[in-house]
Structure 1
């Protein structure tokens, strides 16, 4: 009698393997690289937007006058500041005369100390708009300064609307993309940097006037004497 010989068949289960350690490391490296690149792009864009400096200006402000002038006048101002407006009314013509004769150059520092004195951060908006005006030249900037003072809004309100900031700039001779520059508040970061630098330098009030690095009284007589002494 023949015997049937049965063969025991084992089920062979093939285990599924996950990604190898090398593959995992590769994925992590790619993700980290992408993250670094993405952050780098963001940081570059952010710095570019917040740190933009107007053409014809510097990180310190806007210079009006001949670079070789013997007297250097620094004026720290805020377009919302009534006392700054009064100083312009008092000494604006004197300053213009010094610039025209080459006796002095003026570095304007448009600050934003009084943002809280309006409901729309007018100090920042006006300073940023003055940076937009500077891009059309120092002479346009100087005219814009006078127009902003002549049309200074009362403290505690909304400040001038963008439409009026644009209209005054165009009246001063600003061209190109001035309107868009104002609407985009392009130089708000520049204004913030100027304000921070002034604070760190010990400037805590506007107007503050210096001649050749020395602070003077806010009188026309003090200004004339200091510029004369610098000759």
Structure 2
């Protein structure tokens, strides 16, 4: 007789375990790949270059009418709580504005990221495991707000396409978002190369969810939320941005609305010291 199929929760648990193993491998690979750029001088140059890139991209991005966003991202981000379960929210309506529905949530960690951003990949490799532990236990509420300003660092506009895929997952498979986010960084392309195609991104998503979803597939393939990606990026970048936070590059990390600075991409203790002081 054929083996019984795994339940959805069992598939997701298996995917999270695989992602955790991949994260460790990614941390080792990225440490080797970036060992030559860890001097303070070069880090400063990279930070300045990232800020200049954002300013230039915002200046040349053509204006477009606001478009409807995905469900469960009314704040331009998805809120994930205990058990890695996403909070359900309405979508931003066409012509509408983002609403910080989770404002005032105790021990909230907000992360602005770009899936093409190598520093974001380093942040995930360094902090992903402890963030998963805090969020799974309910000690911390996580909000991930994707941005897209690094299409110029990709041969096939991976930054914006990846952000669109994130919106699709939030809309159709929100409880898989945390594991999807990990998987995206485990498969992050190098800057200056061609990133995964939309078909390959969808295959990655089904590897996380364990199921096919024709609506989600159409969303990824047709880049349904490309207009929202542009709008959310415009809203997210600023000093302050629409939520009163200072975001000039990624990763931009805030705990209880206070920026977390320092060596957050390479030293897990920096973020841990801030979070553990609050959660005990």
User: Is TM > 0.5 for Structure 1 vs Structure 2?
Assistant: yes
| Distance of 1:92 and 1:136 partners within structure 2 | 23
Partner of 2:191: 155
Can you list the C-alpha shifts for 1:172-220, whole angstroms capped at 9, x where unaligned?
Answer: 1163411100011011122112211121223111111110111112142
| Distance of 2:189 and 2:182 partners within structure 1 | 13
1:116 aligns with 2:152: yes
Q: CA deviation at 1:90?
A: 0.8
CA contact (8 A) 1:53 1:59 kept: no
Of residues 45, 67, 70 in structure 2, which corresponds to 1:51?
67
Q: TM-score by structure 1 length?
A: 0.73
Say how many residue pairs are matched.
184
Partner of 1:86: 122
What are the ranges of 5 or more consecutive residues in structure 2 without an aligned counterpart?
Answer: 1-63, 83-101
Match runs of 1:133-212 below 5 Å: 133-173=169-209, 175-200=213-238, 201=241, 202-212=246-256
Question: Comparing 176-185 with 134-143, which one deviates more in the overlay?
Answer: 134-143
Of residues 107, 110, 126 in structure 1, which corresponds to 2:143?
107
What are the ranges of 5 or more consecutive residues in structure 1 without an aligned counterpart?
Answer: 1-45
Secondary structure, aligned partner of 1:75 = strand
Secondary structure, aligned partner of 1:73 = strand
Larger radius of gyration: 1
Partner of 2:76: 60
Question: Comparing 136-145 with 120-129, which one deviates more in the overlay?
Answer: 136-145
Q: CA deviation at 1:69?
A: 6.0
| Distance of 2:132 and 2:79 partners within structure 1 | 13
Q: CA deviation at 1:58?
A: 1.7
Q: CA deviation at 1:138?
A: 3.1
| Distance of 1:176 and 1:147 partners within structure 2 | 20
| Distance of 1:69 and 1:220 partners within structure 2 | 23
Secondary structure, aligned partner of 1:192 = helix
| Distance of 1:171 and 1:57 partners within structure 2 | 23
| Distance of 1:190 and 1:65 partners within structure 2 | 24
Q: TM-score by structure 2 length?
A: 0.61
